[in-house]
Structure 1
Amino acid sequence: MKLKSIKIKNFRGFSDETTINFENLTAFIGKNDAGKSTVLEALEIFFNNSIVTCEREDLSINSDGDTIEITCIFNNLPDIITLDSSSPTNLANEFLLNPQGDLEIKKCFKATTSKPKPTTFIVCNHPSVQWYHNLLDLKNADLKALARRLNLPSDIYQANSNPSIRAAIWHSIDNLQLELTELQVDKENAKKIYDSLEKYLPIYALFQSDRPSKDDDKEVTDPMKLAVQQALLELNAELERIKEEVKQKAISTAERTLEKLKEMDSELASSLIPEFKTEPKFDSLFKLSINSDDNIPINKRGSGVRRLILLNFFRAEVERKLSESSSQSVIYAFEEPETSQHPKHQEILMQAFMDLAYNTNSQVILTTHTPALGSLLPLESLRFITKDNGNRVVKCGEESVFKEIVDTLGILPDPITVFDIFKFPKVDGIACPELVDYNVRI
């Protein structure tokens, strides 16, 4: 899957609903406090709610209610997915696509508590007719009961396949009365379906510019956490098999226990049902770090060194992704790559970003307030964030946008080195930099 766009409403400076489109490479440029980081942090809240969490204070002071809304729209969808059973299906057959044929997921945060929790919806053209509108909420037994109640022949569906039963029920009526619906997917059986669907979403990795200085500095540990996360995804089939085997063996033990209980209290035993509730969190079991051989914490080596490690993480990711065929999409979001880096390193990093974005199954999102970095990127990737009467405005798609960036932020000449001084024009033996035409490279 690829991130097509985001809609932000009532979140910090974005009070009105604002839609922002993404490319394989997207760069947000603007002054300080224009709202660049807000977009990246809204994405972090949507995907992870970890590095940045939604807080009551995030509600825009100009909001028209008490709810923060963050909606992500995805395209390049998989042809086949597995949701609530082992049977394959697809999003179109489950009526989970919006009118444009994209997957639209909306998360709403009620800003009435200090740490609002999301309510998750899929915005889609979904059946609205009675008996047919809530099939995703029904468990297998309920679906089979409904199929029998509708007198559907048992040979037109597979009784152990929820997608098959849903398809048979939906196909039994001529007009499903499809309506644009906000389908809540974090309750009842629909939650299991959404939990499965989440596995197909891109990994979102945010690398911030303003980081705390700790021994486990995130500038070093975050890439390593991402490495563990990606490794687990590549082993997902084996891990799912292990989880299923553990689940079945544990349930079998519970069932044997209940069989013995029947001998002593059959009424009590018949009221008990084994249920496997806890999903293992493998990513919390594995920790990877990079330590200095002289026992000096990496974070004590200076922000430039830490950023160099991060820079070369991205360069290594380019080489790995070019050499491996991986279907898992990753979104790398990087704030201010110019921070603490030599201009040459910035150029190398920009090239790595472009290689990732255009040659692998990845997307890259950048922020900067340095127009010189923006000039290294394709014009279609630029997003200029500015304020208009207090509202955030995101501009893109026209050549005039880059001119506006230059007019607003200005562009400084390249940094002058000591070596350059010896190449300035001289008058009476004195170097005169004011005589240099900066439109011509020295």
Structure 2
Amino acid sequence: MSQCPFSNLLDPDTYKEGMPYEMLREIRHAGPVVKMDDPLTGIPYWVVTRIKEMDFVSKNPKLFSSAARSAFPMEMDEFTVEMQQNTIINMDPPRHQKVRRIVRNAFTPKRVDSYEPSFREHARRIVDAVAAKGECEFVEEVAAELPLISILELLGVPLEDRKQFFTWTNTMIFADDPDMAVSEEEAQLAAMEVIGYAMQLAEKHRDEPMDNITGALLDAELEGEPVSPEMFGWMFILILVGGNESTRTVMAQGMRLLMENPEQLQYLVDNPDKISNAVEEMLRYNTAFISMRRTATEDVEVGGQLIKAGDKVILHYHTANHDEDVFGDDAMEFDVTRAERMPDLYNQLRSFGIGQHFCIGTHLARLELNVMFDEIIPRLRQPRFVDQPKYVRSFFVNAMKEMNIRFDPAAQDTDAA
């Protein structure tokens, strides 16, 4: 059924050695919408490879539903699909907008910007912990720290429980990787543990009201009724994973790209005011979430292909972010100066999606990335790989498992501390 003999983009093995850039380019050049087989599930799908068609699918939820099955690209049993209808990512209008309004207030740019001083303190402490050693495992010791600390603070989770949440989120999101989780059942068990924890937070909020995301969710009403415990639990998981894994992934992949392009890293050492531009290119070049799903609700032509009602449609953000029609002939190249040439880069990339499901935490993610790279770039000097980075075996999250690096040890900045 495939139009071309490509590897299955919904096979986690396709990504176990990192992102298959060249294969994705070939698929993108085969067409903006390509029909593919999935021998693992027996369910064929359409993969959307370019931004114009991705925007059309994303902005037309009546034609392409998130709720009909799920917005997650993996196949799920009916029970899991039904449970996850309580997460905002698996909702269509008008319900989606009503729930989104509840969460959105906790992520306004003004509110997020108020966290910057605290984030900078955390970032300095995180880099302090490794800078004098001259080596670290970058993913867990550096990239994972601030995203997890910040999202737990916003959810009202005490920092002493941080390690447990690090383990739970890894287990939930990386169930396809044998090094990260034993089975799908273990991932579901971790999700239940997080929901149980969320229920305890809800009890605490009744006695000691919290002014944070958890409080905003619990105090809100949906169609005149309080948010149900089930919806709160699943929303808690979605915010936890979305606010944690995604930023960690971009930070780790961004560091890898800078190390693979030392002249670009040196440019940022010499021009620290350009770090925010570099962050946009990191977001473009290696998206955190690789793909999402929609289900066609009626027959519709997109990109010259007739998609039938009920067909599975995969939005492949990674290949769309390398769309030559938008980013030019050098779209496959990593270039930290791209935003200097393309000032609207932040608006053109699709790392946060587009349309009704555009990521609520966009401003938070950008702030965390900028704050961390402001500390990392001048202080982890001359970084180099100890061994090959290890990637997570997943077609959903473009994460790194391990990246051991060495760098010239820096003296502690006692004056600044």
Q: TM-score range by the shorter chain?
A: under 0.3
Task: Return the structure number with greater relative CO, CA threshold 8 A, min gap 6.
Answer: 2
Task: Give the TM-score taking structure 2 as reference length.
Answer: 0.24
Greater per-residue helix proportion: 2
Task: Give the TM-score taking structure 1 as reference length.
Answer: 0.23
Higher Cα radius of gyration: 1
Greater per-residue strand proportion: 1
